[in-house]
Amino acid sequence: MKITVKQLIEKQACAKQVKVFRKLFGASVTITLANCRKAGWAGLDFNWAAQNLLPATALEAYQKAKAPALKAYQKAIATAWNSRRKAIATVLKAYEKAIATAWDSRRKAIATVLKAYEKAIATAWEDYRKAKATVFYKVIRYGGRE
């Protein structure tokens, strides 16, 4: 069996897939195991090709034959996903602990700085308060003259 660029276009393959096909095989290709592997590595869509280029009996055989490989792939993905999820959970837990420690340190540092600030301005505030009272008194008492 041969597949041609013309067939792909007639069956409305996406432009990107047609471009990859043309780059790999030119105008047409004879179906061989080597060419199928080459197409697979290049990312050509076998499911689309099966649905659009194979007769119904061949499509059914393709779907039935690929089922065990698909099942194994899905199992591998599930296992990898579970491992990924556990690893991320471990990292996230460590991150959250580190962040909590950092926030606690930040809170303590800010409290210390704030206490020092309040102490520093307390004297200045008291002096300012006394100065206002004195000025107010002098303005009332002496009319702004001393």
Range of the domain at 94: 56-146
Q: Are residues 140 and 118 in the same domain?
A: yes
Neighbouring-strand partners of residue 4: 28
What pLDDT does residue 142 have? Answer: 86
Residue 146 has pLDDT above 90, yes or no: no
Q: Are residues 77 and 134 in the same domain?
A: yes
Question: What is the rounded (10 degree) CA torsion for 113, 114, 119, 123?
Answer: 120
Q: Are residues 40 and 74 in the same domain?
A: no
Q: Are residues 39 and 83 in the same domain?
A: no
Q: Are residues 85 and 146 in the same domain?
A: yes
Per-residue pLDDT of 33-92, as tens digits, reads 999 999 999 999 999 999 999 999 999 999 999 999 999 999 999 999 999 999 999 999
Average pLDDT for 136-140: 89
Per-residue pLDDT of 99-127, as tens digits, reads 999 999 999 999 999 999 998 899 899 99
Residue 146: other Cβ atoms inside 10 A: 6
Q: Are residues 72 and 136 in the same domain?
A: yes
